């Protein structure tokens, strides 16, 4: 993210994320986060969960993140596949992101 490799991030995500959004929309989202909030200054854990399902094992990680220009709560969802953790969901809640 800090290197703004948004295309590569999307390319390396799981099928669930690719079915939920287009590459361009995902790249636009990450670009907006970087552009409006700036780089990450500090992040702290805000919870986690592991969910075992017939379709796979899913890990949800929550973080409270302080960016250069504001704060947000990020949620990353990964599907564990063999030895890989594939990003299948990303959410961010930030008043700064939507108001500025």
The chain-wide mean pLDDT, for the chain, equals 93
pLDDT score, position 3: 81
DSSP-derived letter for residue 3 is T
pLDDT(88) > 90:
yes
Q: Judge whether 69 and 86 are in contact, CB under 8 Å.
A: no
pLDDT(2) > 70:
yes
**In angstroms, rounded to a whole number, what is the distance separating the alpha carbons of residues 88 and 19?**
9
Domain boundaries, the chain: 6-99
DSSP code per residue over 41-74: EEEEEEEEEEEEETTEEEEEEEEEEEESS-EEEE
User: pLDDT tens, 47-80?
Assistant: 999 999 888 899 999 999 999 999 999 999 999 9
**In angstroms, rounded to a whole number, what is the distance separating the alpha carbons of residues 35 and 47?**
26
Closest CA to 21 of 5, 36, 9: 9
The CA-atom distances, in angstroms, between 47 and each of 34, 44, 75, 76, 100 are: 23, 9, 9, 11, 27
CATH 3.10.450.100 fits 6-99, yes or no: yes
pLDDT > 90 fraction of the chain, expressed in percent and rounded: 83
User: pLDDT tens, 19-40?
Assistant: 999 999 999 999 999 999 999 9
pLDDT score, position 100: 67
Task: Give the 3-state secondary structure of residue 2.
Answer: coil
């Amino acid at each position: 993210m800090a290197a703004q490799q948004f295309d590569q991030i999307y390319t390396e995500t799981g099928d669930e994320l690719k079915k939920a959004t287009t590459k361009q929309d995902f790249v636009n989202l990450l670009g907006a986060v970087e552009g409006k909030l700036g780089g990450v200054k500090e992040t702290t854990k805000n919870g986690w969960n592991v969910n075992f399902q017939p379709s796979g094992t899913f890990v949800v990680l929550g973080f409270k993140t302080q960016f250069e220009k504001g704060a947000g709560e990020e949620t990353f969802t990964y599907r564990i596949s063999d030895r890989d953790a594939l990003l299948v969901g990303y959410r961010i809640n930030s008043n700064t992101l939507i108001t500025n």
